[in-house]
Chain A
Amino acid sequence: MDRRRQIISLIEYSSNSLEFLLSTIETDNDLSQLAFESLLSDERGFTINTLGIQGRLAIFKLASTSRDLSRLIFTRWISQNGHELIDILQLCELSNLNDRSIIEIALRYFLDDENIRRIVINNTKIAIGNSK
């Protein structure tokens, strides 16, 4: 087993692994992709809520570098707890965040798909209709 996998498998059994994974995503270029995948894997049990604001931001930072990663996280978070996209954005505390352009890039990647866009527009219509 190579060194990378050793490190990651160690992280996975540690109770402090969330912080460790997040700092790996942020600081270690070689391991960030691996840490990212590990963080999102089902066995880890981290949800968008348990990640916290810093965790979410770290994930968006990496996701904004890749179309595939962006789609992966949004799709996962939406399907995971039945979150609507708008709920995810609210958890990102957009209005207070200096790095919101990072979230925007990731969101653009996700919304690039026409089918996804139609669904989002439709949901937005319904939500606004219901609130009246």
Chain B
Amino acid sequence: MSIFRGGLLLSNVSNYIEYLFLWRILCQLMNEEDDDINIHPDFHELITYFYRLIKSSVNQKLSSTKEFIICQYASILSTYDMLDIYRRKCIEATGRCILVHYGQYEKIIEQAFYLIHRVHSSIDTINERYKLITYTLNDIIQRCQNEEFEKLTFIQCMTIIKVFIEQEKQIQLNHTDFKQLIDSLVRKKKNNSN
């Protein structure tokens, strides 16, 4: 359900960044309270814009404004109680975020961690979710192998997430552990390419 006809937060709205920031906090507060009121924005609109943004930024260095917008989007996405297709899209979007931020990834990792934590939020459905995530990641990796352009880095990003999810199944990792894991993988990659 959309409360705004034509989607939330059109990019021609002045104060766009501030609305996005505000919107994220509202979504999270609503989510915490499990409120009846549905204030969720039009998800398709949101994710379409997010994709456009990520896609446009693959080949360029991000301004701090764009970086901030991407963080806000990733964060909004992470608050959704999503249908399966949405979860998959979110995982993919997060992977792309990490790709874009390769090298300056701290904020995104924070969001990725939050997202993955939410995907695993219920013990009852954890196995089902795990299967879904694994399936999705494999699917993405396969498709990436056919796209020469982003082959190596993107695969690696997805692999990082996959490794993380597999580990999380067995032990409770905290944020620091995840960061260390990413750090070690990044270092390995750098050594390999030298």
CB distance from B155 to the nearest CB of A (A): 31
Q: On chain B, which size bracket covers the interface? A: 20 to 34
Interface flags for B115-143 (1: CB within 8 Å of A; 0: not) read 00000000000000000000000000000
Note all chain B residues with C-beta closer than 8 A to A48.
none
- Bound form: Cα–Cα A111–B17 in Å: 18
State whether the Cβ of A7 lies closer than 8 Å to any Cβ in chain B. no
Note all chain B residues with C-beta closer than 8 A to A94.
17-18, 21, 68
Is the CB–CB distance between A128 and B13 below 8 Å? Answer: yes
Interface flags for B1-29 (1: CB within 8 Å of A; 0: not) read 00110101110111101110111011001
Is the CB–CB distance between A124 and B21 below 8 Å? Answer: no
Is the CB–CB distance between B15 and A124 below 8 Å? Answer: no
Is the CB–CB distance between A111 and B15 below 8 Å? Answer: no
Is the CB–CB distance between A111 and B19 below 8 Å? Answer: no
Is the CB–CB distance between B29 and A124 below 8 Å? Answer: no
State whether the Cβ of B104 lies closer than 8 Å to any Cβ in chain A. no
Given A95-B17, A95-B65, decide whether A125 and B26 contact each other with a Cβ distance below 8 A.
no
Interface flags for A86-129 (1: CB within 8 Å of B; 0: not) read 11011000111000100010011001100001001100110111
- Nearest B residue to A98 by beta-carbon distance? B64
- Nearest B residue to A89 by beta-carbon distance? B18
CB distance from B120 to the nearest CB of A (A): 24
- Bound form: Cα–Cα A89–B72 in Å: 14
State whether the Cβ of A14 lies closer than 8 Å to any Cβ in chain B. no
- Bound form: Cα–Cα A102–B3 in Å: 29
- Bound form: Cα–Cα A85–B29 in Å: 17
State whether the Cβ of B39 lies closer than 8 Å to any Cβ in chain A. yes
Is the CB–CB distance between A131 and B4 below 8 Å? Answer: no
Is the CB–CB distance between B64 and A121 below 8 Å? Answer: no
Is the CB–CB distance between A90 and B18 below 8 Å? Answer: yes
Is the CB–CB distance between A89 and B22 below 8 Å? Answer: yes
Note all chain B residues with C-beta closer than 8 A to A132.
6, 10
Selected contact of A108 from candidates B23, B29, B68, B69, CB within 8 Å: B29
Is the CB–CB distance between B19 and A86 below 8 Å? Answer: yes
Selected contact of A90 from candidates B6, B8, B15, CB within 8 Å: B15
Note all chain B residues with C-beta closer than 8 A to A128.
4, 8-10, 13, 19
Known: A94-B18, A94-B68. 7 other contacts (CB 8 A): A95-B17, A107-B22, A128-B4, A128-B9, A128-B10, A128-B13, A132-B10
**Pairs A-B, 10 closest by C-beta atoms:** A89-B18, A95-B65, A95-B68, A131-B13, A90-B18, A86-B18, A86-B15, A95-B17, A90-B15, A94-B21
Which residues of A are in contact with B by a Cβ distance under 8 Å? 85-87, 89-90, 94-96, 100, 104, 107-108, 111-112, 117, 120-121, 124-125, 127-129, 131-132
16 A-B pairs within 8 Å (CB atoms) are namely A85-B22, A86-B19, A86-B22, A94-B17, A95-B64, A100-B21, A104-B25, A107-B25, A108-B25, A111-B25, A111-B29, A121-B39, A125-B3, A125-B4, A131-B10, A132-B10
